[in-house]
Amino acid sequence: MRGIGLVSYFPLEAFNIPIVISGNGRKISYLSGFPEVFQSGDLTVFQNVCKDIEVKNGCASLLGHEPKISYKSYLSAALNLMGIKDKFVPKYITPGTVGIYDYLDPNYKEILETIAREMGWERAGDSFEHTDCFLHEIPFYIHTIKFPEVTPSTFYYSNRIRLGQMTREEALKLELEELENPQIVQGLDDFLKQIGMSREEFIKEVEDWTKIKKYRNEEPFYGKFYRKFRK
């Protein structure tokens, strides 16, 4: 899944699509503020993970576009910081994409109720947000292995506090309840079976949070500039 968002740039250019509405945005990209648990979606990460193995050859046509795409992504963000909207910038400089949650507050309860009512959709599990993914809870389980002081919902609650959808007191109460009564991780047994590992082996592989660094390339200067002035 890494890099899948960036792949949307290709049809934009190839088919002369004027604008793309993305179901993303800074208001829901809350994990990006925690480098200890956040793994970038840049294609360079995929390159580093799949280095010298067969799957990389099958994705070679995508991997070659990474420098151009990363540059466009950071340039687009920098222009937004300067108050220059994408619609005023030629698309050959930066892609015409709009993250819908840069403009709307994500009310997950209302969103889920609307989709269920209008489309007759039923979710596979009880997870919040990505309820179409049965393995959605696995990454949050990994967070609890790396940092035993957090729950699978800690970062989610912190984002809801920032959005004004929850008070600190409400979040703390839920956190304490989850720490005292940890829930079964949905899909974990199937996931471990698919990757051929026991739970003990899996925990040993992921408990060191610093291992995430080896798959990252050094951040370019324009990325550091963006992160500094985004605040």
Residue pLDDT, tens place only, 130-177? 556 778 788 889 989 998 888 988 988 988 898 888 999 999 999 999
Q: CA separation (Å) from 132 to 3, 20, 121, 123, 190?
A: 19, 22, 10, 6, 16
Report if residue 203 sits inside a domain: no
Q: Mean pLDDT across the stretch 73-100?
A: 63
Pair 157, 85 in one domain: no
What integer pLDDT is reported at residue 72 of this predicted model? 62
Give the C-alpha separation, 91 to 93, whole Å: 5
Structurally, the chain folds into a number of domains equal to: 2
Give the residue numbers spanning the domain of 42: 6-104+214-230
Residue 89 confidence (pLDDT) above 70: no
Segment 170-196 shows an average pLDDT of: 90
Under 8 Å between Cβ of 23 and 100: yes
Give the DSSP H or E segment for 22.
strand 20-22
Residue 54 lies in a domain: yes
Assess if residue 25 is contained within a domain: yes
Is residue 33's pLDDT more than 70? no
- Average pLDDT value for the chain: 74
Judge if 55 and 130 occupy the same domain.
Answer: no
Looking at mean pLDDT, say which of 126-130, 162-166, 227-231 comes out highest: 162-166
The rounded distance, in Å, linking the Cα atoms of 147 and 141 is 10
